């Protein structure tokens, strides 16, 4: 299962980040967790540009 995926295209990148949703998931917590995962990938590319 891919939860974080970065794809390089000729002129840009696409980043997909997600979370596993279960019966007792809390939407706000899942959103925050997903954003944290995306920030980690972005920081690896350019630590100075992470604002998500």
Please name the helix (run of DSSP H) or strand (run of DSSP E) that holds residue 27, with its range, or none: helix 27-45
- Each domain of the chain, given as residue ranges in start order, spans 4-49
- Mean pLDDT across the stretch 32-48? 86
Query: Which residues does 25 contact at the CB level (< 8 Å), separation at least 6?
Result: 19
Contact predicate 19/3, CB 8 Å: yes
Which tens digit of pLDDT belongs to each residue from 3-34?
789 999 999 989 999 888 899 999 999 999 99
pTM here is: 0.69
Give the model's pLDDT for residue 31: 93
With b for 16 or more beta-carbon neighbours within 10 A and e for fewer, the 15-42 pattern comes to eebebeeeeeeeeeeeeebbeebbeebb
């Amino acid at each position: 299962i891919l939860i974080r995926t970065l794809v390089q295209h000729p002129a840009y990148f696409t980043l997909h980040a997600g979370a596993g949703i279960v019966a007792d998931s809390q939407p706000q917590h899942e959103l925050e967790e997903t954003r944290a995962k995306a920030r980690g990938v972005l920081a690896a590319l350019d630590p100075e540009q992470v604002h998500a």
